[in-house]
Amino acid sequence: MASLLQKSLFLFLALCCLTQYTNAHPLKICKLDQIYQLGDSISDTGNFIRQIPIETASAFARLSYGETIFNNATGRCSNGLLIIDHIVKLETEHVANPSNRRNQHHTNKPLQNRANTHVLFRPQPRRKKNRRGQCIALPGDTQHPALFSIYATYSNPSHLLSSFQDQAMAAGLPFVRPYKNMDGHFKHGVNFAVAGSTALPSQVLASKHIFCPVTTTSLHVQLEWMFTHFNSICFDHTDCVDKLENALFMVGEIGGNDYNYAFFQGKTMEELKSMVPDVVESIMDAAKKVINLGAQRVVIPGNFPIGCRPIYQTVFQSNISEAYDENQCLNQFNEFAQYHNEQLQQAIFKLQQEKPNAIVVYGDYYNAYQFLLKFAYTSWACCGTGGKYNFDLKRMCGEDGDVPVCAEPNRYVSWDGVHLTQRGYKIMAAWLLHDIFPKLHCHF
């Protein structure tokens, strides 16, 4: 009897613990209460538009940027939230099975003319069936219930899973405030990212005859801002280590603009590949510096499949069918992005050996974006005009009051031909949390 009572008590306590974490956000489970972000426009929440003399002259400081959630431009290069915002504020939602999505993927008809179908974002874990034909998890599947509650499932193409309605997955953190916001409260971290920023200093790029048309605030400058911030809040190195015990550092995505500027200024693929070691070294140098400051958990994202962006598809458009993959992305540019990511991952592995006391994780933005494309209807930009992809370098989103905006941004991947919509970033954030969380080695 005593043994049975003990087993029952153990089972009850286990269920209580499981219930406690089922609705918790992965960052909360990891007890992470601060996020520090380095990067470019993928993660800038307002630094670029606060830089003199740019300020309100930037298109990012005006609507239609920010229209979906803020009804005001905040400096985010999207219609709403970015990946870093979704990481701290991710919520589940109603979704349905995107039936026959692949057959419709390459068409460029306006989305409002199509049936109202929601986007599904649920990676398919490995499964096998028991004798009753029921799917069961295999060893190696992500077991934590919080991760599975990020994604919705469906039983048939028209069925919506109501149990996930309005189920908040928030980490309990506020949006990570931009460093240049002098009224900002930085208790829960700081965002140092700047739109247009490069991994290499502008002087180094200039020596390669590459001009930085957007900003000269490189990763090096962001690190200087970071050091200034920590010097203001830490008494000494030991104090900083203690303060950063529960912090997550995002070193990137960065480096994409080094390549963007080079490509659009006419550099060859061979010249671009010769840049990769320097770009990767700069990123790894930044990662080492944040670890030396006291960072214990660091995520280093890779590059996107840049050949899928309307800006690339427009500028480097080809009449050769072999130039494109099944998603109508330009092969050579995606292959280049993969080359960069391979070099970056090799460097991360070396850093993991050098810094065994720090947890350094690769952020697989490439495959997160590829996953998103599986459920995309169109490669058009939502905010833009002209051409095959609704994108024109001479009339970009926000620069002209006459540049139209699509009626349903949530049904587009690309916001302005360069950056994603809020919905696109949300799907990527969910995929990334699912991929990164088990690698952070949280103990609960």
* Catalytically annotated residues: 41, 416, 419
- Look up residue 272 and give its two tokens: 């671009």
CB-facing half-sphere around the CA of 341: CA atoms within 13 A: 20
Tell me how many degrees the CA angle 26-32-35 measures, rounded to the nearest 5.
105
Nearest-angstrom CA–CA distance, 367 and 338: 10
| Contact by Cβ (8 Å): 435, 150 | no
Nearest-angstrom CA–CA distance, 201 and 282: 9
CA distance to 158, 305, 443, per residue, from 364 (Å): 31, 11, 23
- Name the phi and psi angles at 307, rounded to 5: -70, -5
Nearest-angstrom CA–CA distance, 91 and 150: 7
**What SS3 class is residue 360?**
strand
Nearest-angstrom CA–CA distance, 418 and 60: 12
Name the residue with tokens 């209807």.
377
Nearest-angstrom CA–CA distance, 254 and 277: 14
Beta strands in 215-329, from DSSP E residues, in sequence order: 247-251, 297-301
Long-range own/partner contacts, residues 208-212 (CB < 8 A, 24 or more apart): 208/262, 208/271, 208/275, 209/265, 210/258, 210/261, 210/262, 210/265, 210/267, 211/261, 211/265, 212/257, 212/261
Name the residue with tokens 């200087």.
224
| Contact by Cβ (8 Å): 345, 363 | no
Nearest-angstrom CA–CA distance, 298 and 440: 9
